[in-house]
Amino acid sequence: MATTNQLLDDATVIERVFDHIDHETTDLGETTWREPVENYRSEARFATERDAVLRRLPIGFCPSAVLREAGSYVARTAAGTPIVAIRGSDGKVRAFRNACRHRGAELAAGTGCAKAFVCRYHGWTYGTDGRLRHVPHEHGFPGIDKASRGLVPLETVEVGGVVFVMQGAPGRDAWLKDLPELIPSRYRLVGGSDLDVPANWKIAVESFLEGYHIRTTHAQTFYPVQFDNLNVIETFGPSNRVTFPYRAIHKLRALPREERSVDGKLTYVYHLFPNVMVATFPGRIIMVVLEPLTIGLTRFVTYSLSDREARDVEAQSALKRGTDLVDRGGAEDRELICGIQRSLDSGANEFFEFGLFEGAIGHFHRVLQAAIDDRS
């Protein structure tokens, strides 16, 4: 298990996978981790995670591809705060608290494209730059300073094909400068969904970060095409990248190193701390925001992107087969995490035991605890 700010190149990852296959090994964490079950049950702990982490650090909000055109926007709630992100006419993405400066009504919902935001309560109008442009019957607000009554901005960074938004004080996004290209610009949005899952958000995060469960959980889905308990695990800054190789990777052995491609031979799962996953599949990339709604309810906000030509019937057929497989595997994971959630109050466990095969999960919990401890 590597800790670095620079992720391995594809060819080196492939060589690491071959070494693990040949020696029947996998990447191991340096230590195990025990996470108290009470940390999944405590309302006070949940509030601290929301306020000290999710409302303080840069959070992946949406793929850049969702905001491809000027005026395109995404509005959703993040850590309990209504937020809207929009691409301005200057090409820059900005995010604001999604609340009218008159009476606090939300200005936008879902996704769309707009030249301005008009509050449907009283018609106050804001430009895509957040400035207050128009107040109906303005004489009824003597002395109003429109220049100071624009939408409340949030620090916004667009990097690697992902839009990051931070509700806290600026200056905590240094790790983003080393972020690789997660979603190349050729990928376009082809689908999306919101699904509320009755489980704590950390249980959901954990389900993405190890391959120790592939054989038992995904016996008829992922296991026939992947390996059980064989991963390359890298940490970069507060985040992780977990490599899930496919059995088809054997086809690369006969090729020179410089001709080897990971396309169709493995899945990268990027865990963007604390609650965002970006996963690569043949012809498809998905970004999943695991948005905590309550201590026991998480919204899976999923964006699906593809670089396959829509008119290519063969490519679309293959894409559908792969998508169906991933969807079935995801349903299996969700069934397991809901069961874990139900067991929290059983008294069976004082803590959860994460072993050396689950090093990325240990890294997640160590960084989370450090962020909570460092609230200055």
Instruction: Please give the Cα distance from 223 to 176 (Å, whole number).
Output: 33
Residue 26 lies in a domain: yes
109 and 158 in one domain? yes
| Sheet of 153-159, strand order | 59-63, 162-166, 153-159, 93-97, 81-87, 72-78, 110-113
Q: What is the pLDDT of residue 343?
A: 97
Of 109, 141, 172, the residue at which a domain comes to its end is 172
The yes-or-no verdict on residue 202 having pLDDT over 90 is yes
Residue 118 within any structural domain of the chain: yes
Report the domain count for the chain.
2
What pLDDT score does 149 carry?
A: 97
Q: How far apart are CA 181 and CA 285, in angstroms?
A: 12
Answer whether 243's CB lies under 8 Å from 339's CB.
no
Residue 304 has pLDDT above 90, yes or no: yes
Tell me the per-residue pLDDT of 215-265, one tens digit each, with 9 for 90 and over.
Answer: 999 999 999 999 999 999 999 999 999 999 999 999 999 999 999 999 999
Looking at 172, 204, 223, which one is the last position of a domain?
A: 172
Q: How confident is the model at residue 5 (pLDDT cuts 50, 70, 90)?
A: low
Secondary-structure breakdown of the chain: helix, strand, coil percentages, each rounded to the nearest 5: 30, 30, 40
Place of tokens 């026939």: 224
**For residues 314 and 188, what is the distance between their CA atoms, to the nearest angstrom?**
18
**3-state SS, residue 329:** helix
pLDDT class of 117 with cuts at 50, 70, 90:
very high
Residue 180 lies in a domain: no
Per DSSP, what are the bridge partners of residue 232? 243
Tokens representing 123 are 């018609």
256 and 157 in one domain? no
Assign residue 303 the CATH number of its domain. 3.90.380.10
222 and 285 housed in the same domain: yes
Binning pLDDT at 50, 70 and 90, where does residue 268 land?
Answer: very high
Within a domain: 263: yes
Q: What is the pLDDT of residues 40-88, one digit of tens each?
A: 999 999 999 999 999 999 999 999 999 999 999 999 999 999 999 999 9
**Is the pLDDT score of 376 beyond 60?**
no
**Residues 78 and 143 placed together within one structural domain of the fold:** yes
Q: Are residues 242 and 361 in the same domain?
A: yes
Indicate if the pLDDT at residue 273 is higher than 90: yes
Task: Please give the Cα distance from 2 to 59 (Å, whole number).
Answer: 23
Give 326-349 pLDDT, tens digit per residue: 999 999 999 999 999 999 999 999
Domain membership flag for residue 168 = yes
| 179 within a domain of the structure (yes/no) | no
With a CB cutoff of 8 Å and minimum separation 6, the contacts of 371 are 52, 53, 56, 57, 238, 274
- Whether residue 286 is contained in a domain is answered as yes
- Looking at residue 54, the DSSP 8-state letter turns out to be I
Q: Which of residues 147, 172, 197 is at a domain's end?
A: 172
What whole-number percentage of the chain has pLDDT above 90?
91
Mean pLDDT within 306-334: 92
Cα–Cα nearest to 64, from 84, 89, 93: 93
Whether 198 and 338 share a structural domain:
yes
- Do both 219 and 120 map to the same domain? no
The CATH number for 77's domain is 2.102.10.10
Residue 4: band (very low, low, confident or very high) from pLDDT cuts 50, 70, 90: low
pLDDT of residue 151: 98
Mean pLDDT, residues 102-128: 97
Same domain, 80 and 149: yes
Task: Encode pLDDT of 133-167 as tens digits.
Answer: 999 999 999 999 999 999 999 999 999 999 999 99
Q: Which domain holds residue 114?
A: 59-172
Give a yes or no: residue 177 inside a domain. Answer: no
User: Region 272-282: what's the mean pLDDT?
Assistant: 97
Assess whether 232 and 214 both reside in one domain.
yes
pLDDT at 17: 98
131 and 197 housed in the same domain: no
Quick one: 49 and 65 in the same domain?
no
Mean pLDDT value across the chain = 95
Residue 263 CB burial class (10 angstroms; 0-12, 13-18, ≥19): exposed
Tell me, yes or no, whether 232 and 365 share the same domain.
Answer: yes
The residue-averaged pLDDT of 9-33 equals 97
pLDDT band at residue 172 under the 50/70/90 scheme = confident
